[in-house]
Amino acid sequence: MIDVNGEIDRLSLMVSSLLIVTRLEEIELNMRPVDLYEEVDSIIKLFLPLADQYDIELINKCQKNVAVLMDEARFKEILINLVDNSIKYSREGGFVEISCIKREEIVELIVRDNGCGISEGDLHCVFDIFYRVDESRTRKTGGSGIGLYLVKKIVELHGWSIKVKSRLNEGTEFIINIKSGL
Ligand SMILES: Nc1ncnc2c1ncn2[C@@H]1O[C@H](COP(=O)(O)OP(=O)(O)OP(=O)(O)O)[C@@H](O)[C@H]1O
Ligand SMILES: [Mg+2]
């Protein structure tokens, strides 16, 4: 029964992610200035119980007092997906570090972990819908391969860009170039 229950949770999560994906094109962004340090702080608080469970340290290395124009709810979805991945694909005792650096009109936001990493061959596919690296190895983590697709769509809706750098068995970083718009 516990297995079945877990599976139902997984499927309903997948259905709600798919609903977001299918409605993405119609979404109107509700843009307003948001402080990045505060935003990252609230996401870290959200993930603390899960991170504790896996003995993973969550670190907020953002510059303070950096605000950018964004749809806050959508931005939370970006961070939630990236941090969720970093925790899921990390090892016990690892870390997830979120940093942001303002460079003139661009703010660079980086979510970095020292987890299992992604091989060069898989790296260019990770933003594809339903793509999961090594399905058998990652089955226990129970995702659907929608998260990063959604992240990229939301990033592009804002007119921003995202790239990924990774080394197998060393770690991964997702870098978002945010137009500060202020
Ligand atoms: N931080 C990371 N470290 C290592 N591998 C990663 C990381 N983030 C993503 N991946 C790989 O990229 C794949 C796609 O990620 P994505 O978030 O789209 O899907 P998922 O996490 O498997 O499922 P979902 O997000 O829908 O629950 C993952 O299955 C995983 O193999
Ligand atoms: Mg994911």
**What pLDDT, in 10s, does the model give residues 15-72?**
777 777 777 777 889 999 999 999 999 999 999 999 999 999 999 999 999 999 999 9
Helix (H, G, I), strand (E, B) or coil at 135: helix
Q: What is the pLDDT of residues 119-155, one digit of tens each?
A: 999 999 999 998 888 765 554 567 888 999 999 999 9
Q: Which of 70, 160, 168, 161 is nearest to 114 (CA)?
A: 168
pTM of the model: 0.91
User: Under the phi-then-psi rule, with left for phi > 0, alpha for psi from -120 to 50, and beta for the rest, what region is 117?
Assistant: left
The answer to whether residue 181 scores a pLDDT higher than 60 is yes
Ligand 1 closest atom vs CA 145: 19
Q: Which residue in this structure is represented by tokens 């962004």?
A: 29
Task: Report the pLDDT value the prediction gives residue 138, as an integer from 0 to 100.
Answer: 56
Tell me which H or E stretch contains 151.
helix 147-157
**Amino acid present at 176:** I
Residue linked to tokens 């935003």: 39
Query: What pLDDT sits at residue 155?
Result: 96
Higher pLDDT, 5 or 82: 82
Ligand 1 site: residues with CB under 6 angstroms?
Answer: 17, 81, 85-86, 89, 113, 115-118, 126, 131-133, 138, 143-149, 172
Helical (H) or strand (E) element with 158: none
From the CB of residue 94, how many other CB atoms can be counted at a distance below 10 Å? 19
User: How many angstroms separate the CA atoms of 35 and 118, rounded?
Assistant: 31
Task: Please indicate whether residue 26 or residue 105 has the higher confidence score (pLDDT).
Answer: 105
Residues whose CB falls within 8 Å of the CB of residue 41, separated by 6 or more in sequence, listed in order = 60
Which residue minimizes the CA distance to atom 24 of ligand 1?
A: 143
Say whether pLDDT at 5 is over 90. no
**Which domains does the chain carry?**
2-179 (3.30.565.10)
Atom in ligand 1 nearest the alpha carbon of residue 14? 26
Nearest-CA residue for atom 9 of ligand 1: 85
* Cα end-to-end distance, the chain, whole Å: 52
